[in-house]
Amino acid sequence: MENTNNTKIEDTKEMKDSASKVGRLSNGGEGKTSKKRILKGVVVSDKMKDTIVVAVTRFTKHPKYQKFMKSTKKYHAHDAGNTHEVGDKVEIAEVKPISKTKSFEVLK
């Protein structure tokens, strides 16, 4: 019985070593770097408390017709103190979710 337990322990140690080399085991978040998205846009709504809606415009190339198209997407961003108004140009950065729809905060 002792022999089977020792081999199981050695096997699990080898598996942990190989998994940590591959990066499958997390060591408290070490070695993981995540870039936060920073987007530039225009404030289109400031009617909510501590929240603004920012419209971000992108130029994307159509995959088939190779024409550049303008696409706009709206993001809810946290604006502590309601400092920004409609029409202001702002930068927003991705953060952990603050609410159901809010996962950005205002930088500038």
User: Which pLDDT tens digits describe the chain residue by residue (108 residues)?
Assistant: 555 555 555 555 554 454 444 444 444 445 566 788 999 999 999 999 999 999 999 999 999 999 999 999 999 999 999 999 999 999 999 999 999 999 999 998
Number of independent structural domains in the chain: 2
79 plus 56 within the same structural domain: yes
Who's near 101: CB < 8 A, 6+ residues apart?
Answer: 76
pLDDT (0 to 100) of residue 23: 43
Extract the tokens encoding 52. 């603004």
38 plus 23 within the same structural domain: no
55 plus 82 within the same structural domain: yes
The model scores a pTM over 0.75 = no
User: Which domain, by its residues, includes 76?
Assistant: 34-106
Q: For residue 34, what is the DSSP state?
A: -
pLDDT (0 to 100) of residue 36: 84
pLDDT (0 to 100) of residue 21: 43
